[in-house]
Structures are given as structure tokens and as C-alpha cells.
Amino acid sequence: MRILGLDPGLRHTGWGLIEKQGPKLSFIAAGVINPDDTLPLASRLMELHNALKQIVQDWQPDTAAVEETFVNKNPSSTLKLGQARGVVLMTPALMGLTVGEYTPNQIKKTITGVGHAEKTQVDMMVRTLLKTVPQGIPPDASDALAIAITHAFIGVR
């Protein structure tokens, strides 16, 4: 089973694809979508949708998982993140995939055993669980792989 993990953001949306065969997890691909931040919001959301659609078409995942939004201090930033998250949830669903959702604490606890783990701990465990992850992948892509692993462990039977 191929699982697409998505870490939503309007400036940077991380994506990571893994394969689950029984208890074994394997790294397939990962990257970051960076919509042009000089464009109007609607155009940036459309770029995000088109890039996600292309990823799903190219890699043919069986299911997807998305990190739930946390609320930050800036209401405008939270609203924009929510709009990007809506596109990230909708695009795989439109393409026939089931989409799981996980809180940041669920992801950290699943990957490291600690719900308030640091990003470096999560990245280290992603590399431990998926031995062939290339060096130098962006943090957003590593986070997306953690989301995919979480879905493999607790969302997919």
C-alpha cells in the first residue's frame, strides 16, 4: 500500500510517499511544493492544488494523511494556513483517496514515543524507520514522511 503524507502550508507544503508491505515501511519519494508567494491567494491555492494533483497522478498512492492545523497567535496566518489545508485535504479526496488526519502530538508520539518531541528527534526517527531517506531533504518533506508513517501505524489496517 502506498501512503502519501502531507504537511500543509501556503508557502511550503511538504509531501512524502512511503510503501507499506505488512509491517515493513519503505521510502518512495518526498518533496516540497512552493507556490509563488508573489501571486494572489487564489492563484497560490490553485498552484498547490495542481501540484498535489500531479503528485497523486504520478505516484498513484492508495491513501493520504494530513497534519491537523494548529492555531497560532496571528489570526490572519491561521486563516491562510486553513485555506491551504483545505486544498491539501480536498485534492486527494477528489481523486478518490481516503484521507486521514492527525494532530502534531499524535504524529510525534507515534514516531518518537513522546508527544512533545523536537523536530530533530522526529527527523532522526523518520530516517531510522525509513533507512533510504536521502540526506538533505527539506524539513517539510521529513514532516510529511512522519505523517505518512503515522497513518501506516495507526490509520491503515
- Tell me the catalytic residues: 7, 67, 140
Nearest to 6 by CA among 130, 97, 71, 73: 97
CA dihedral 33, 94, 146, 15 (to 10 degrees): -20
Q: Are 18 and 152 in contact (CB under 8 A)?
A: yes
Measure the CA–CA gap between 128 and 155, rounded to whole angstroms: 20
Q: Are strands 98-102 and 63-67 parallel, antiparallel or unpaired?
A: parallel
